[in-house]
Chains A and B, each alone.
Chain A
């Protein structure tokens, strides 16, 4: 995709974001209690308008950009694999958090590593996977729980039974 074509999308998107933000701010944040204070809403509203203005600048300059400048900057194309990895990494992060709360650190960490190695990075050997899973879990456990006495999530199985 070309740089300025991207901006033709980015500009309106930013403006939309700004308008949504302003709407949220006016709806959900109470204004100042008295005339003499700035109140909790002043800053959010100011930021909303600044973003709106910046979005407008991006939009306008994208449509007005000189023709020669357009060809210069190109963005790498989006590949299907990229989408898969981005979504996969994000999904795994969420899953990891979810599992930490329920299954605890000791179970979810190796599971997470195995999933990452087998699903996201295909073709990793089982031996390497197992070694990394065990090693990382052990190291993190030593570091956090033993050395630093930081409480690691132990997990709660109550959700299974109640």
Chain B
């Protein structure tokens, strides 16, 4: 019962841009004070899992990610919705989410100790290498021109610089204002970059002589079993990516989703279809970001390390109920742990029921004329960006990001790499600097670690391949 309630709340909150599941978890926490430990934690887990899944709903229908983890889902999910395939995209997203989540749960149950032992080996140098590899996916996200993609990526990284540097406590480019010390919130930037350009386009299209393009077929059409069966192997790989990345503290859902998206594109027979409404482009990131939920539970339960803010709240919930995570937990409260495993499975059952039923309702959103929908989206975006930190400053920031987003669209600078830069920037810089402080300024720390070297090699390979294929394409055009 508690799980059901938690899951539904998570789904709702996850699907609203600006309300994150870490916030939802904090809101739910006081309700669990009076409950028994198992239902209390089950409810929190439900919110976590539901929130991760819910993010895909607004990503697909509105083109605005409900949570940062759903950003990669927008790239193909939203085009699918415009083509009238929203039902398919949403259905696939739910199935993929459930698959990813349950896969990671299975990994967690079977390999907890082993994965935890490997995850702890990831120091700053290794995480830096991993994130750099993530950044190399810019090449895949830059559609027309590599240089423009890189420009966008660098600008995303620059935006992340503004604010208080958490390591040295130094304010960077805040011009003496306290508001800017909070930095550019990832979600605020994403709402602005994704939503505002769309709203503007909807307004402009409204005035045109031609009637706004309406998706003709908005029936809730579900993906066929064959669609999913064809992608089973892809889903397994992406679930692996998600679980692995989730298990490494300091990474998280957005990185996993981007890596999975790029992975799917790279190993697909038709990479040119990505970004235009390819089902694999929805399945891959959704599998991965839900697999992260199980992944992050590994260091949380076995070592007591929260990998991200959401798991930090869950850790708080565990502590309040006298459950101290760590190796002891498995000796003292084994029954509770099994109950929690069951709760997660239950949460996914609830998700499947609610979402598959809800899709019929969701797709009706697309029947609303775009300009009217745009008016509602504006209100939702403003309230969402306000609610993230209860700050009107964030509303202004969202507006500015929106203006930048629209400008970029006009001068053909892709948005996706900006988002990637925003997502990865902070981790990239902090891990690099921490690694250097640890090694007392010697860069050899990056080359002494085998794991880091593997990721550096992968990065070089990715960039190299991309440059090679781009120059070959150019040669073909000129010939």
Asked if A and B form a direct contact in the complex, defined as CB atoms under 8 angstroms apart, the reply is: yes
With an 8 Å Cβ cutoff, the count of chain B residues facing the other chain is: 61
Considering only CB atoms, which chain A residue lies closest to B168 in the complex? Answer: A40
Contact with A along B198-215 (1 / 0, CB 8 A): 011001101100000000
Q: Are B378 and A40 in contact (CB under 8 A)?
A: no
Q: Are A93 and B382 in contact (CB under 8 A)?
A: yes
Contact with B along A42-86 (1 / 0, CB 8 A): 111001001100110110010000100000000100100110011
CB distance from A126 to the nearest CB of B (A): 15
B406 within 8 A of A: yes
Q: Which residues in A have their C-beta under 8 angstroms from that of B199?
A: 89
Q: Are B433 and A36 in contact (CB under 8 A)?
A: no
Q: Which residues in A have their C-beta under 8 angstroms from that of B157?
A: 43, 47
Considering only CB atoms, which chain B residue lies closest to A108 in the complex? Answer: B382
Q: Which residues in B have their C-beta under 8 angstroms from that of A42?
A: 433
B35 within 8 A of A: no
Cβ contacts A to B, 18 pairs, < 8 Å = A3-B412, A24-B173, A36-B441, A40-B172, A43-B157, A47-B157, A58-B148, A85-B200, A86-B403, A89-B200, A93-B382, A93-B398, A94-B399, A97-B395, A121-B207, A132-B372, A136-B375, A149-B27
Q: Which residues in A have their C-beta under 8 angstroms from that of B200?
A: 85-86, 89
B365 within 8 A of A: no
Q: Are A54 and B429 in contact (CB under 8 A)?
A: no
A148 within 8 A of B: yes
B155 within 8 A of A: yes
Q: Are B173 and A89 in contact (CB under 8 A)?
A: no
B167 within 8 A of A: yes
Interface residues on A, range: 35 or more
Q: Are A144 and B147 in contact (CB under 8 A)?
A: no
Q: Are B441 and A44 in contact (CB under 8 A)?
A: no
Q: A44-B158, A47-B157, A136-B376 are in contact. Are A143 and B16 (CB under 8 A)?
A: yes
Q: Are B375 and A113 in contact (CB under 8 A)?
A: yes
Q: Which residues in B have their C-beta under 8 angstroms from that of A136?
A: 375-376, 379
Q: Are A51 and B158 in contact (CB under 8 A)?
A: yes
B428-445 contacts to A, CB under 8 A, are 429, 432-433, 436-437, 440-441
Q: Are A57 and B386 in contact (CB under 8 A)?
A: no
**A residues neighboring B (CB under 8 Å):** 3, 6, 10, 14, 21, 24-25, 28-30, 33, 35-40, 42-44, 47, 50-51, 54-55, 57-58, 61, 66, 75, 78, 81-82, 85-86, 89-90, 92-94, 96-98, 100-101, 105, 109, 112-113, 116-117, 120-121, 128, 132, 136-137, 140, 143-144, 147-153
**B residues neighboring A (CB under 8 Å):** 12-13, 16, 19, 23-24, 27, 147-148, 150-151, 154-155, 157-158, 161, 165, 167-168, 170, 172-173, 175, 196, 199-200, 203-204, 206-207, 371-372, 375-376, 378-380, 382-383, 386-387, 390, 392, 395-396, 398-399, 402-403, 406, 410-412, 429, 432-433, 436-437, 440-441, 478
Q: How far is the CA of A128 from the CA of B206 in the complex (A)?
A: 16
CB distance from A26 to the nearest CB of B (A): 11
Query: Would you call the interface of chain B mostly helix, strand, loop, or mixed?
Result: helix
**Quick one: which of B23, B151, B380, B429 has the most chain A CB within 10 A?**
B151
Q: Are A140 and B13 in contact (CB under 8 A)?
A: no
Q: How far is the CA of A51 from the CA of B206 in the complex (A)?
A: 37
Q: A51-B158, A148-B13 are in contact. Are A82 and B204 (CB under 8 A)?
A: yes
Q: Which residues in B have their C-beta under 8 angstroms from that of A40?
A: 165, 167-168, 170, 172
Q: Are A35 and B441 in contact (CB under 8 A)?
A: yes
CB distance from B187 to the nearest CB of A (A): 14
Query: Would you call the interface of chain A mostly helix, strand, loop, or mixed?
Result: helix
Q: Are A152 and B378 in contact (CB under 8 A)?
A: no
Among A81, A94, A148, which residue has its beta carbon within 8 angstroms of that of B396? A94
Q: Are A44 and B371 in contact (CB under 8 A)?
A: no
Q: How far is the CA of A61 from the CA of B148 in the complex (A)?
A: 12
CB distance from A132 to the nearest CB of B (A): 6
Q: Which residues in A have their C-beta under 8 angstroms from that of B23?
A: 150
Q: 20 extra interchain contacts, Cβ-Cβ under 8 A, other than A44-B173, A150-B387?
A: A10-B411, A28-B172, A29-B170, A30-B170, A36-B440, A37-B433, A54-B147, A58-B147, A81-B204, A89-B199, A89-B378, A90-B399, A93-B398, A97-B386, A112-B379, A116-B378, A121-B207, A132-B375, A140-B380, A153-B386
Q: Which residues in B have their C-beta under 8 angstroms from that of A93?
A: 196, 378, 382, 395, 398-399, 402
Among A50, A75, A109, which residue has its beta carbon within 8 angstroms of that of B379? A109
Q: Which residues in A have their C-beta under 8 angstroms from that of B411?
A: 6, 10, 75
Considering only CB atoms, which chain A residue lies closest to B176 in the complex? Answer: A28
CB distance from B415 to the nearest CB of A (A): 16
Q: Which residues in A have their C-beta under 8 angstroms from that of B379?
A: 109, 112-113, 136-137, 140
Q: How far is the CA of A107 from the CA of B38 in the complex (A)?
A: 43
Q: Which residues in A have their C-beta under 8 angstroms from that of B175?
A: 28
Q: How far is the CA of A149 from the CA of B475 in the complex (A)?
A: 59
Considering only CB atoms, which chain A residue lies closest to B150 in the complex? Answer: A54
CB distance from B190 to the nearest CB of A (A): 16
Q: Which residues in B have their C-beta under 8 angstroms from that of A85?
A: 200, 203-204, 207
